[in-house]
Amino acid sequence: MIFFRPAWSDPLHSKEFPVLERAQTVRLMIFDVDGVMTDGSLYYTDAGEELKAFNSLDGHGLKMLQNSGVQLAIITGRTSRLVEHRARNLGINRLVQGAHDKLASFETLLAETGFTPAECGYMGDDVIDLPVMRRVGFAVAVPDSPDIVRQNAHYVTGARGGNGAVREACDLIMQAQGTLDAQLAVYLR
């Protein structure tokens, strides 16, 4: 297992870091929201409405990953209509909000989809994500995660949450599965 991604190493091609082999097996990729799909900031209006900023590059990466054949899901501890809208916009049908026990939510997803933990990936940023990260075949963290989270990840993105980290993970999975070129070919005509 990778405990962190040292800046001096090449984690994609090192025998100590079997990242591509792990990413190659992903059939269902699950994402946390706050700190992963967003930068983790929570904004509230005077009326108490919650606001979040999502990265459009991340969104397109999610669509390409889904088009490549990988199924997507979101498990988040918070509940927000914004996340429901974002998931619908991206075509993500599996959305679990208010998941204070993310492992139980993950087990439910496994039962619904028939996937094994080894066929799943999970991207998180905080200790609430650890139970799922420790079960899946491919665990991804963002660089501003606490040390314990990065230590339990197979891959730590170079980009921060909400700033291209999701896109980086999506591109890595497609690269590992040999589908990235086909997804990009549409734009290289």
In a domain, 169, yes or no: yes
Whether 32 has a binding-site annotation, put simply, is yes
In a domain, 52, yes or no: yes
Tens digits of per-residue pLDDT, 38-87? 999 999 999 988 899 999 999 999 999 999 999 999 999 999 999 999 99
In a domain, 96, yes or no: yes
Could you tell me the pLDDT band of residue 14, with boundaries at 50, 70 and 90? Answer: very low
In a domain, 9, yes or no: no
In a domain, 10, yes or no: no
Mean pLDDT of 150-158: 97
Asked whether residue 10 carries a pLDDT value surpassing 50, the answer given is: no
* Pair 174, 180: CB distance under 8 Å: yes
* Pair 172, 155: CB distance under 8 Å: yes
Return the CATH number at 95: 3.40.50.1000
Tens digits of per-residue pLDDT, 98-110? 999 999 999 999 9
d(CA 150, CA 187): 34
Give the structural domain span for 160.
19-184
Which of 7-21, 42-56, 125-139, 174-188 has the weakest average pLDDT?
A: 7-21
In a domain, 8, yes or no: no
Q: What is the pLDDT of residue 89?
A: 96
In a domain, 3, yes or no: no
Whether 125 has a binding-site annotation, put simply, is yes
The CA angle 181-186-189, to the nearest 5 degrees, is 105
Q: What is the pLDDT of residue 8?
A: 34
Q: Among residues 135, 72, 140, which one has the least CA distance to residue 103?
A: 135
In a domain, 5, yes or no: no
**How many structural domains compose the chain?**
1
d(CA 2, CA 151): 7
Q: What percent of the chain has pLDDT over 70?
A: 91
CA 125 from centroid of its chain's CA atoms: 9
Could you tell me the pLDDT band of residue 17, with boundaries at 50, 70 and 90? Answer: low
Q: What is the pLDDT of residue 189?
A: 84
Residues 6+ positions from 185 with CB-CB distance below 8 Å: none
Whether 46 has a binding-site annotation, put simply, is no
